[in-house]
Chain A
Amino acid sequence: MAAYVIPCNTQRPAVSLEILDLATMRSSEEVFGMAPVAEFQAVRKVYPGRTEALKGVDLVVGEGESLGLIGPNGAGKTTLVRLLLGLLKPTSGSVKLWERDAYALPVDLKRGIGFLLEETGVYENLTVEENLLFWAKLYDIGEERVPEVLSTWGLLDKRKALARTLSAGMKQRLGVAKALMHEAPFAVLDEPTSNLDPEARRDVVDLLQDRGKGRILLISSHNLFDIERVCTRVALLRRGAITAQGTMEDLKKQLGVKREVRIRVSGEISGDLERRIVDRFGVTRTADNELILVDEATATRDLVRYLVEHGVDVERAEESRVTLEDVYTQMVEEDEAE
């Protein structure tokens, strides 16, 4: 019997991203029945010098949803975030926030957005506390919130330090704190975990998970691990176009992301037993006494129990996955190869 090997961590998925057609691009309203909060319709953005950053993007962010925006450098993520924040005007198409033109959003509605741009907006000649005070005053949220925010984001010890003396990671943390301090219903974060060491990154992701509850989030990141943890839906942006979007699970299915369990057994498996486990569990058997199972976690337990009950020694069971990161890496490699 020929071994059937599905892609795992060490093998890139054999799926071509070109086949991820527009049919997968359903709006969140169609998918979840949510009212759209942010809506991009056929948005093109051409910079002077004819650089086309976005080529007709359609994207919807729904109420209560957290959308992760991933894509290689130069894919157009920052342009998309800037269009949403009303910093840039689309060359054609429309960008709407709460059904209003994002570029001309009234000041009152702007208060409903917390944002972090690639450049964090930290003022180097102000102290950490003054930086937060400035944004607290600007958003009219009461200065008494500042100590609480400093404490939540682990900045209390540094509150009197000038921002220019902070490490890049601490500045990033301050930027994220600034973005979320007024608990706006909609948070737009461009690369929130860049410049952070692993520990700080974990803390920020934990806080994003915690503080993001009940809010609409749009997070652009290179870090897929963070996106996987925080976002319920992902959109892939390549060369200025959305090539795929959906829930994490949708996307994994579309991209051939699978879970695979390899069970190594010792001793002989009779032909009869092999037929039975193939029929019952849908496993395949490799030449070197490995059983490969592509199924839910419960099936692994059942299979192991079944084998033991039938006198087969199970040496080890190993699980591997094709993560979103594998898919993303393949996408970047394809882009670079072209």
Chain B
Amino acid sequence: MKAIRVILWKETRTFFRDRLRFVALILITLFFGAYFAARYGLLLLVPTALVPMLAGAYAMSQAAFYNEVTRKTLPNLLASPMSPETLLLGKSLAVFLFSYALELIGVTVCVGFSWFRLGELPTLAAVYTALVVIPIWGFVSIEFFGLIFTLVRGTVGVWLLTAPLYIAVLLSVLRPTLASKLGNVLSSLWLPPVAGLGAAALLYALMARISKDRMTRVAS
């Protein structure tokens, strides 16, 4: 636990120092929160939660995982008194907390805007989807990005492997009705969160199986 706390400490500082990335993510979150609320009211609360979560997951995973590889600092962490899976989990948690905070900002803006303008309040199912289901799948995507960024050498490979999630974000922006339908699917009570937790556990098991040898070679 101590090692995870130390990684969280380091990553938090690094995120806030990466001003361009940080400001861009805040602006994206505020813009979509306000835009969706102004145009569709609370109908698109789920995409409003999804966009900052996935944007944060991608951008901050790049900062947390990929920069360690490209700047060749990863072998130092692998040689430190910490297991590789603890390291990857710590980084995933740091990215998750940051992305979740972004998502909360987006949701707050959307709900606040809708309530102020239209007097609407979100349904319990929408709140549950936004605050529980999407974060779970957000964590899964962070683990996925973490694995890709740690194991795949070269930007082209990384882009190709992460493209489906990019397309999902793009679609939710360009075709919000599709994203709304996705939101309906996600808002069912048991299956999405349970499946998400299963996927997260599976990816963590994969993380625990990556060899230091391979990670070192990728980062060298």
Contacts and interface: CB of A to CB of B under 8 A. Distances in A.
B216 A82 contact: yes
Contact of A119 (B73, B80, B81, B212): B73
Interface residues of B, number: 26
A87 B78 contact: yes
Contacts, number: 78
A130 B13 contact: yes
Nearest to A164: B17
A103 B72 CA distance: 20
Contacts of A47: 217
A88 B216 CA distance: 7
A125 B213 contact: no
Q: How large is the interface on A (under 10, 10 to 19, 20 to 34, 35 or more residues)?
A: 20 to 34
Nearest to A110: B81
Nearest to B63: A125
Contacts of B75: 82, 85, 87, 117, 119, 121
B17 A125 contact: yes
B155 interface: no
Contacts of A253: none
A137 B217 contact: no
A107 interface: yes
A56 interface: no
Contacts of B82: 107, 138
Contact of A108 (B79, B81, B211): B81
Contacts of A120: 76
Interface string B199-220: 0000000000001110011000
A115 interface: yes
A122 B10 CA distance: 12
Interface string A106-124: 0110110101010111111
Interface in A90-117: 103, 107-108, 110-111, 113, 115, 117
A25 interface: no
B166 to A, nearest CB: 25
A89 B216 CA distance: 10
B79 A115 contact: yes
A278 B3 CA distance: 70
B5 to A, nearest CB: 8
Interface in B125-158: none
Nearest to A47: B217
Given A137-B9, A162-B17, A87 B213 contact: yes
A125 B18 contact: yes
A277 interface: no
B83 interface: yes
B39 interface: no
Contacts of A107: 81-83
B212 A87 contact: yes
B17 A87 contact: no
Interface in B168-220: 211-213, 216-217
Given A110-B79, A134-B10, A138-B80, 18 more contacts: A82-B75, A85-B75, A87-B75, A88-B213, A107-B81, A113-B79, A117-B79, A119-B75, A121-B75, A122-B73, A126-B13, A134-B9, A135-B80, A137-B2, A137-B6, A137-B9, A138-B3, A140-B2
Interface of B: 2-3, 6, 9-10, 13-14, 17-18, 71-73, 75-83, 211-213, 216-217
9 contacts: A88-B213, A89-B212, A124-B71, A125-B14, A125-B18, A126-B13, A138-B6, A138-B80, A139-B80
